[in-house]
Amino acid sequence: MKFNLHINFPQRSIFGFRILSSFQSSIFCYILLFFGKIANYLFGFSKTQIISGSLFNVILHTSIVILIINVIDKRKQLKKINFLFLNFILFLFLPFSFYMIFKYTLVLFSFWI
């Protein structure tokens, strides 16, 4: 018995734009990682800067997780070897991204309480 789980995701976003392809999602994810790494050094040590840096990191890593989910959903658009070569680092980065979301969410709650 073969279990076939197929979720029919919409092809347009809630704003009417096309959903990115697997290649576009991968490239944009690497761009976000690059600019996120550079931008993290620009946040300071005052309370408002820590809160804004935490919000930035939560949004950044949530976007990366969404893009990786889109890469996995659209994986049939690329050859298997190209897909694995392009996305291997992203798959290794996924648990770290979940950790960063959890970590900076706790930082935000610590300032809120």
CA distance 5 to 70: 16
Q: Which residues of the chain have pLDDT under 50?
A: none
- Give the largest Cα separation in the chain, rounded: 59
The pLDDT assigned to 77 comes to 87
- Per the listing, tokens 């950790």 go with 99
Q: Are 33 and 68 in contact (CB under 8 A)?
A: no
The residues, any chain, with a CB within 8 Å of residue 53's CB and separated by 6 or more, are 40, 43
In the chain, what are the domain boundaries? 36-112
Sequence-ordered alpha helix ranges (H) in the chain? 22-40, 47-73, 80-112
Query: Per-residue pLDDT tens for 76-99?
Result: 888 999 999 999 999 999 999 999
